[in-house]
Amino acid sequence: MILRQASATLQTLARGYPVLAITGPRQSGKTTLAKGTFPNKPYVSLEDGDTRAFANEDPRGFLSRFPDGAVLDEAQRCPALFSYLQTRVDDKQRMGEFVLTGSQQFGLLSHITQTLAGRVGLVQLLPFSMQELRAAKATPLQLDEQLWRGLYPPIYDRALNPTQWFSNYVMTYVERDVRQIIEVQNLSLFQRFLKMCAARCGQLMNMSSMANDCGVSHKTIAAWLSVLEAGYVVFLLQPHHQNFGKRLVKTPKLYFYDTGLAAYLMGIEDASHLSIHSARGALFENLVIAEFMKHRLNQGLASNLYFWRNSTGEEVDLVLEVGERLQPVEIKSGQTFHADFLAGLQKWERYAGTTSLAPHLIYGGETSMLRSGVSVQSWRDLAGA
């Protein structure tokens, strides 16, 4: 089993919170993480019909079966449990007693905020990070293969073909979840929307343009997008507000949590196809930004990620808020370093002055180095910040 970085975070939270919650996309390893981090706790799946009926009909009796706590998988399936959990943990005051896992889009977080606020330590678990794969010596040999395969655990645990796995993933999870949450009258239009999101990976989000291209209303696009965000399929990277005397772009950028899923939706069938694909640069940028996101969430921290772009098109791909200062990161997919890779960062430093921390460049090559005061980092050494 590949060791998850979030396991240490859960163990730390278990010393300060009576309830722990793990949420994230389907098939990201939430159940495996909970069982592996707390192997001595009984495991209960509330997907099981008989178990769920017991928990809904007699919540107090159900919880009494677990005097030392338990891992409750898909906890949002039993809303009645949450108020009884509150009474239980308030009465016993024992830390790390219950571990809840579930999907945000089906209400786990809403139930927590309504009845368990202040009592829950939350971890959002995304697919494997490259650092986790590297520690397990499971990193693919080539960058294009990494972009194509993505980082969902089943592809590595079961040696599955990524294209086949993502095809089933979209049908059995993404589309099913959307149908359960909102009414989709024309599934083919939603499928087109999914592919349009992939084609716009790394671009400024323009819902009006997507609505026109898809043949639906702006309101429908907003609803579909909100479901994909809640299901950890896509996220919007917000622009940073610091203007340095320049007018700024205020529109967020669209990214996928996993490049393998984006590549599948683009119709990329193998790594060699991706190597000559026009979206390769966007997918590499997506990979890097998602890795920074994982680094934060694996520590139980909120995102501090932004991009910076002014009205004349000058841009920094990624900006991290570090206290009152900003860490700029430029991302280039080229395998050979060129001095002009640094042009955007050099402009940024002139604008930002003392606000800027030492800049970083992450590129698609194999060698990390220091060039002109910039830390140039190979994609293989990527570990977030």
Q: Domain holding 98: CATH number?
A: 3.40.50.300
At residue 139, the pLDDT reads 79
Whether residues 80 and 221 fall in one domain: no
Contact criterion met (CB below 8 Å) for 17 and 50: no
At residue 132, the pLDDT reads 94
At residue 64, the pLDDT reads 96
Whether residues 329 and 201 fall in one domain: yes
pLDDT in tens, 72-86: 999 988 888 999 999
What does DSSP assign to residue 353? G
Residue at which a domain ends, from 124, 152, 169: 124
Whether residues 280 and 251 fall in one domain: yes
Residue 374 lies in a domain: yes
Its sign, for the CA torsion 372, 130, 144, 167, is negative
Whether residues 46 and 136 fall in one domain: no
Residue 321 lies in a domain: yes
Q: Give the DSSP per-residue string, 268-283.
A: --SHHHHHT-TTHHHH
Identify the burial level of 269 via C-beta atoms within 10 angstroms of its C-beta, where 0-12 means exposed, 13-18 middle and 19 or more buried.
middle
From the CB of residue 138, how many other CB atoms can be counted at a distance below 10 Å? 13
Record the tokens describing residue 85, joined without a space. 């959990």
Identify the three-state secondary structure at position 198: helix
Show the domain range for 153.
130-381
Whether residues 103 and 66 fall in one domain: yes
* Helices (H) then strands (E): counts for the chain: 18, 13
Residue 1 lies in a domain: no
Whether residues 350 and 203 fall in one domain: yes
pTM above 0.75, yes or no: yes
pLDDT in tens, 269-284: 999 999 999 999 999 9
Q: How many residues can be counted in the chain?
A: 385
Whether residues 84 and 169 fall in one domain: no
Whether residues 112 and 194 fall in one domain: no
Q: How many domains does the chain have?
A: 2
Residue at which a domain ends, from 81, 108, 124: 124
At residue 54, the pLDDT reads 96
Residue 111 lies in a domain: yes
Whether residues 259 and 350 fall in one domain: yes
Whether residues 136 and 193 fall in one domain: yes
Low-confidence ranges of the chain (pLDDT < 70): 104-107, 181, 183-185, 384-385
At residue 265, the pLDDT reads 97
Whether residues 120 and 145 fall in one domain: no
Residue at which a domain ends, from 69, 89, 124: 124
Rounded CA-CA distance 79/75 in Å is 8
What does DSSP assign to residue 150? -
Whether residues 114 and 134 fall in one domain: no
Record the tokens describing residue 91, joined without a space. 């009465």
At residue 106, the pLDDT reads 56
